[in-house]
Amino acid sequence: MSQEAKNPWFKRKLKGIITPSTEKKETPDGFWYKTPTGDVIEKTELKNNFYVTPKEGYHVRIGSKEYFEIIFDDNEFTLIAEDLKPVDKLNFSDKKKYADRIKDTQKKTGLNDAIRAAFGKTSGHSIVVACMDFSFIGGSMGNVMGEKIARAIELAIKNKCPFLLISKSGGARMMEAGISLMQMGKVTAKLTQLSMAKLPYISFLTDPTTGGVTASFAMLGDINIAEPGALIGFAGPRVIKETIGKDLPEGFQTSEFLLSKGFLDFIVDRRKLKSKLKQVISMFQN
Amino acid sequence: MRMDRSYLEFEKPIEEIKNQIAQTLEIGDKGQVGIKSTLKELEEKLTKTTKEIFENLTPWQKVQLSRHPDRPYTLDYIKNITDGNFIELHGDRNVKDDKAMVGGFGEIDGKTYMILGQQKGRNTKERKYRNFGMANPEGYRKALRLMKLAEKFNKPVVTLIDTPGAYPGLEAEERGQGEAIARNLYEMMLLKVPVICIIIGEGASGGALGIGIGDKVIMLENTWYSVISPESCSSILWRSWDYKENAAEALKLTGKDMLKNKLIDNIIKEPLGGAHAEPQKMFKKLKLEIKKNIEELEKMSVEERINVRTEKFSNMGN
């Protein structure tokens, strides 16, 4: 036992650990959060500010749990196809077996895969939201992600409501090789059906969105929006740097860069996400 | 036939026998007798050795074959299957003409097709000119323009895929490499004309899929198709470039595996020794396959074709 633990100041008031692992946050551990400019703020303050640092407006990386909390009225929603779990169909193994990687990551994150999808209401409007979790193998896209988005789109069509996809992914999951590549086709196929049903598809790109996710559904929104300062691109910055043999210009591949190049409709601060969504959905529906 | 053929390491036994045959023929030319039986023996040995090598190829050897310096490229196929009756069309009408993506109208036995694909170069100068078969966004947009043109005039589309990937450059990002590929996936899914996509060499990731949504997706026997190249996979997952053979194995990137996993529709067998050993035979075979597949697809209605195409991709990986 360490010295600190013996100190009565740090004695637990309640016995046992009472926070279930499903309630764990993607935010850094501990009570305090250190902002990019070095300020230290309370975690609760950060949470109350939608995980955006008050002074810099820095958008801390969050997961599906936090986004659902922000978007759905009273945090009420029904999960879609939550029973889908990744299967190692190719019997893939690198330094580690993919099957073990899945199990370990599930244990560590309390998630089944890198995406959760849900149906509920936002500002009174019905909506289907699918949101990636970067903590699960870098938000990588495998068969579960493709299939879950496909089912989410089907539900949006059935309920005649808008579809919001929150991307946060390094791209295709290498351990599912050809299968993961074809998820780009799968989701695109489903999006053609959503489009025929004349239902809005809002693609919301957050930090980071790269690779096969960018090169398919993330760029296909009826409107494409992003959080400020997010890294968005096809190839990763390191690969581009190696290819061209030069340093990349300041602000390259950020949301602001993509907006200026014409690939985003607008950038939305997370603190205004819900009200902006309400406005957008109303515009489509009224 | 090309005189200065190159041979991969595992093709060396074939080269040796071929050299022996050439030497024997030389002796025969000088008027010495008794070469007939020696020649026959050598020819038999050549067939047997080639068979042995090609029937036991590892995934990595297939990757090497897909990049063989003598392998026919997109324009070789187009020129041969159309018998030269091909009009190349240029430009995306927006930024420029991408030399890594070629395409145009071509006639096969009196019928017009839109044929397009990535183009690689054979020597240093050509390779640079073709950007190693790595298209920029304007290449994908040019491909889309040509496919929409084909749709307007009701011509079937054939795409020939041969790329180490979409170009990961600065300007490619500025001009929306991701968006360009994404747009193609979407538009190809809904093309009213029949579309067949044939992997003739390398099928690397989004760069391949960007012209790879079709009613039939077919791989030539000695090609690969996956989410990443074995080299890059090795460097990322093993943190070293030395595991490319393992990565090639793990990625299940051969036609056989891709077919087994229902990610492609068919495989076209290559002549013994690979497409580069007997290109004329390969051209003939490809031409037949294109005609056969398009004929079949044209029997379906537009709605039926799009439905089947969409359903096929919707079920991949399940």
Same domain? For B45 and B194 the reply is: no
Q: What is the predicted ipTM? A: 0.95
* A148 shares contact with chain B (CB less than 8 Å): no
Contact between chains at A216 and B206 (C-beta distance less than 8 A)? yes
Return the bridge partners of B196, or none.
B158, B216
Give the alpha-carbon dihedral of B133, B134, B136, B137, to 10 degrees. 100
Is A206 in a helix, a strand, or coil? Answer: strand
Facing residue for A235 by CB, picked from B168, B186, B253: B168
Among B37, B56, B75, identify where a domain stops.
Answer: B56
Q: In the predicted model, what is the mean pLDDT of residues A251-270?
A: 97
B29 pLDDT band, cuts 50/70/90, is confident
Facing residue for B168 by CB, picked from A147, A150, A239: A239
- Total of domains in chain B: 2
Side chain identity at A89, as an amino acid letter?
Answer: K
Query: What are the φ/ψ torsions at residue B143 (nearest 5 degrees)?
Result: -60, -40
B74 in a structural domain: yes
pLDDT score of B1: 42
Same domain? For B37 and B162 the reply is: no
Q: Distance (Å, rounded) from C-alpha A43 to C-alpha A55?
A: 14
Facing residue for A219 by CB, picked from B172, B182, B261: B182
Encode pLDDT of B188-204 as tens digits: 999 999 999 999 999 99
- Chain B residues in contact with A215 (beta carbon < 8 A): 166, 177-178, 181-182, 206, 209-210
B132 in a structural domain: yes
- Shortest distance between the Cα of B47 and any Cα of chain A, in A, equals 34
B1 in a structural domain: no
Contact between chains at A178 and B170 (C-beta distance less than 8 A)? no
Q: Distance (Å, rounded) from C-alpha B170 to C-alpha A240?
A: 7
* Ramachandran bin of A81, using left for φ above 0, alpha for ψ from -120 to 50, beta for the remaining angles: left
Surface of A (39-68) touching B: CB under 8 A: none
**DSSP track, chain B:** --SS----GGGHHHHHHHHHHHHHHHHHHTT-S--HHHHHHHHHHHHHHHHHHHHT--HHHHHHHHT-TTS--HHHHHHHHTTT-EEE----SSS---TTEEEEEEEETTEEEEEEEE---SSHHHHHHTGGG---HHHHHHHHHHHHHHHHTT--EEEEEEES-S---HHHHHTTHHHHHHHHHHHHHT-SS-EEEEEEEEEEHHHHHTT---SEEEEETT-EEESS-HHHHHHHHSSSGGGHHHHHHHTT-BHHHHHHTTSSSEEEPPPTT-TTTSHHHHHHHHHHHHHHHHHHHHTS-HHHHHHHHHHHHHTTT-
Same domain? For B51 and B200 the reply is: no
B36 pLDDT band, cuts 50/70/90, is confident
Query: What are the φ/ψ torsions at residue B225 (nearest 5 degrees)?
Result: -150, 120
Contact between chains at A177 and B251 (C-beta distance less than 8 A)? yes
Same domain? For B272 and B239 the reply is: yes
Contact between chains at A181 and B177 (C-beta distance less than 8 A)? no
Chain A contact probe: residue of B205, B227, B237, B312 with most A CBs at under 10 A? B227
Report CA-CA distances (Å) from A154 to A148, A189, B45, B277.
10, 11, 59, 49
pLDDT score of A19: 56
Facing residue for B317 by CB, picked from A146, A191, A252: A146
Residue B6 has pLDDT above 70, yes or no: yes
pLDDT score of B178: 98
Facing residue for B176 by CB, picked from A178, A186, A261: A261
- Chain B residues in contact with A176 (beta carbon < 8 A): 227, 317
Give the percent of chain B with pLDDT over 90.
93
Contact between chains at B261 and A89 (C-beta distance less than 8 A)? yes
Provide the residue range defining the domain that includes B210: 62-314
B3 in a structural domain: no
Residue recorded with tokens 């640092």: A53
Residue B209: CATH number of its domain = 3.90.226.10
Same domain? For B170 and B245 the reply is: yes
Is A76 in a helix, a strand, or coil? Answer: coil
Which of B66, B290, B73 is closest to B194 using CA atoms?
Answer: B290
Contact between chains at A94 and B238 (C-beta distance less than 8 A)? yes
Encode pLDDT of A130-179 as tens digits: 999 999 999 999 999 999 999 999 999 999 999 999 999 999 999 999 99
Residue A82 CB coordination number (10 Å): 14
- Chain B residues in contact with A201 (beta carbon < 8 A): none
pLDDT score of A2: 46
Q: Distance (Å, rounded) from C-alpha B196 to C-alpha B193?
A: 10
* B314 shares contact with chain A (CB less than 8 Å): yes
| CA gyration radius, chain A | 20
Same domain? For B68 and B48 the reply is: no
CB B227 within 8 A of CB B205: yes
Same domain? For B17 and B163 the reply is: no
Give the percent of chain B with pLDDT over 70.
98
Give the alpha-carbon dihedral of B135, B137, B139, B145, to 10 degrees. 160
Going A206 to A207 to A212 to A215, the CA torsion angle's sign is positive
Same domain? For B130 and B232 the reply is: yes
CA A109, chain centre distance (Å): 14
B2 in a structural domain: no
CB pairs under 8 A between A and B: 173
Contact between chains at B263 and A182 (C-beta distance less than 8 A)? yes
Q: Distance (Å, rounded) from C-alpha A216 to C-alpha A224?
A: 12
B4 in a structural domain: no
Q: Distance (Å, rounded) from C-alpha A50 to C-alpha A60?
A: 9
pLDDT score of A140: 98
* B190 shares contact with chain A (CB less than 8 Å): yes
Q: In the predicted model, what is the mean pLDDT of residues B75-86?
A: 98
Helix axes B137-152, B177-189, angle to 10 degrees: 20
Which of B145, B303, B279 is closest to B222 using CA atoms?
Answer: B279
Query: What are the φ/ψ torsions at residue B303 (nearest 5 degrees)?
Result: -60, -45
pLDDT score of B313: 98
Is A272 in a helix, a strand, or coil? Answer: helix
Encode pLDDT of A48-101 as tens digits: 999 999 999 999 999 999 999 999 999 999 999 999 999 999 999 999 999 999
Among B22, B40, B56, identify where a domain stops.
Answer: B56
* A219 shares contact with chain B (CB less than 8 Å): yes
Q: In the predicted model, what is the mean pLDDT of residues A218-236?
A: 97
Contact between chains at B186 and A188 (C-beta distance less than 8 A)? yes
Surface of B (137-176) touching A: CB under 8 A: 166-170, 172-176
Same domain? For B237 and B276 the reply is: yes
Contact between chains at B314 and A176 (C-beta distance less than 8 A)? no
Surface of A (225-264) touching B: CB under 8 A: 233-235, 239-240, 243-244, 246, 248, 252-253, 261-263
Side chain identity at B134, as an amino acid letter?
Answer: M
Contact between chains at A188 and B213 (C-beta distance less than 8 A)? yes
- Shortest distance between the Cα of A240 and any Cα of chain B, in A, equals 5
Facing residue for B253 by CB, picked from A178, A218, A261: A178
CB B211 within 8 A of CB B140: yes
- Shortest distance between the Cα of B68 and any Cα of chain A, in A, equals 22
- Shortest distance between the Cα of A43 and any Cα of chain B, in A, equals 34
Encode pLDDT of B114-170 as tens digits: 999 999 999 999 999 999 999 999 999 999 999 999 999 999 999 999 999 999 999
Same domain? For B149 and B187 the reply is: yes
Q: Distance (Å, rounded) from C-alpha B198 to C-alpha B264?
A: 10
Q: What is the mean pLDDT of chain B?
A: 96
- Chain B residues in contact with A145 (beta carbon < 8 A): none
B31 in a structural domain: yes
Which of A103, A173, A165 is closest to A143 using CA atoms?
Answer: A173
* B259 shares contact with chain A (CB less than 8 Å): no
Give the percent of chain A with pLDDT over 70.
90
Same domain? For B290 and B212 the reply is: yes
Same domain? For B225 and B119 the reply is: yes
CB B195 within 8 A of CB B157: yes
Contacts of A99 (CB under 8 A, 6+ apart): A88
B217 in a structural domain: yes
Contact between chains at A188 and B182 (C-beta distance less than 8 A)? yes
